[in-house]
Amino acid sequence: MYAIKLNGFGDPEVMEWDEMDDLPAPGPGQVAIDVVAAGVNRADVMQRMGFYPPPPGVSEVPGLEVSGVIAEVGAGVQDWAPGDEVCALLAGGGYAERVNVAATQVLPVPKGVSITSAAALPETAATVWSNVMMVAGLRAGDTFLVHGGAGGIGTFAIQLTKALGARVIATAGSPEKLALCRELGADVAIHYREQDFVEVVAEVTDGHGADVILDNMGASYLTRNLDTLAIEGRLIVLGFQGGSKAEVDLRTLFHKRGAVFSASLRARPVGEKTTICAAVAEHVWPLVADGTVRAIVGRTLPLAEAAEAHRLMESGESTGKIVLVA
């Protein structure tokens, strides 16, 4: 089969669409998916640069989510059959013509969504649901702040939390991206290059702050995020685009009775991903099927042009998700 091979680590050019060994037949509890499309994630860029190796035993081929058609099912799989149109959450291996994955990490292509767009959903939906709902316990009426509202995670998080009854505030880096955040349901959109989000959130919430913050920046935003938290607020650090080492005054958390969480979805065991995928199927898929939450695909490219997709993601010019088509 053909797949994206990493010839070392570094610039996007290290990725090459090349012939690789065929995969073994799916093992017990697994399915093989003929890939139609693969979603691109920041984690793939980090892996390509050598900063985010796959968990032990996982393919070196990048790609954390795909859509496609079930080609074969392993022993004991009852929920899926060859020919089913599906999408799946992976630990790796998605930039390829075929992938094997635990059947419990597979979801149907939601009604009304094209099979190509469905590749943009599993990693994003699982990340947002598991962190914002399962960990931070966002409630209707809460104020929710998401940084990078026009990105892959951000576009999904705005729509989902708005649908669940939160007051949504998003940050973004250009007028066009701020407009997209508002169109997707953000009540307030903050230009992070020109405005101080700490001041704006304090102003628009009459000093209450954000009950839940979904952060992609890490170190560079830590102190300001803690300043922005409401009493009993929950900060979730998903990424380290602004570094991973920071010093904070813990008294801010102490006085606010606040909490900071950070977790990688990729490294979680199959059992935990199974629970998350089941929750996504139950709570998120109906909202996608009725059009309340849409997959925002900013750009589609051939899988063989993964390098160009990575260049685009790193340029900061893309909005929503980038999807690669096999």
CB-based contacts of 53: which residues, under 8 Å, 6+ apart?
A: 47
Stretch that binds ligand NAP, among 100-108, 133-141, 238-246, 272-280 (CB under 6 A): 238-246
For residue 231, give both structure tokens.
């009493």
Q: CB 288 → ligand NAP: shortest distance, Å?
A: 17
- Residue 239 binds ligand NAP, judged by CB under 6 A: yes
Question: Kind of pairing, strands 167-172 and 15-19?
Answer: unpaired
Residue reference for tokens 């980038």: 322
- Residue 234 binds ligand NAP, judged by CB under 6 A: no
d(CA 228, CA 256): 10
- Residue 63 binds ligand NAP, judged by CB under 6 A: no
Q: CB 96 → ligand NAP: shortest distance, Å?
A: 19
- Residue 119 binds ligand NAP, judged by CB under 6 A: no
- Residue 43 binds ligand NAP, judged by CB under 6 A: yes
Pair 309, 40: CB distance under 8 Å: yes
Site string for ligand NAP, 189-228 (x = CB under 6 A): ---x-----------------------xx-----------
**Residues in binding contact with ligand NAP, number by CB under 6 A:** 27
- Residue 127 binds ligand NAP, judged by CB under 6 A: yes
d(CA 214, CA 54): 24
The residue among 59, 54, 57 whose CA lies nearest residue 43 is 54
Choice between 4 and 64, CB closer to ligand NAP: 64
Stretch that binds ligand NAP, among 84-92, 149-157, 253-261, 287-295 (CB under 6 A): 149-157
Q: Of the candidates 38, 102, 297, 313, which one interacts with ligand NAP according to CB under 6 A?
A: 313
DSSP state for residue 216 in the 8-state scheme: S
- Residue 244 binds ligand NAP, judged by CB under 6 A: no
CB-based contacts of 240: which residues, under 8 Å, 6+ apart?
A: 217, 218, 219
Stretch that binds ligand NAP, among 24-32, 167-175, 248-256, 284-292 (CB under 6 A): 167-175
Stretch that binds ligand NAP, among 5-13, 93-101, 263-271, 275-283 (CB under 6 A): 263-271
Stretch that binds ligand NAP, among 14-22, 104-112, 171-179, 198-206 (CB under 6 A): 171-179
Pair 228, 213: CB distance under 8 Å: yes
- Residue 173 binds ligand NAP, judged by CB under 6 A: yes
Backbone angles phi, psi at 66, to 5 degrees: -140, 165
Residue 186 Cα distances to 154, 158, 180, 198, angstroms: 10, 6, 9, 17
- Residue 243 binds ligand NAP, judged by CB under 6 A: no
| C-alpha R_g of the chain | 19
For residue 282, give both structure tokens.
């139950």
Residue reference for tokens 């070392």: 8
- Residue 241 binds ligand NAP, judged by CB under 6 A: yes
d(CA 18, CA 326): 13
* Binding-site ranges for ligand NAP (CB under 6 A): 41-43, 123, 127, 147-148, 150-154, 171-173, 177, 192, 216-217, 238-239, 241, 263-265, 313, 316
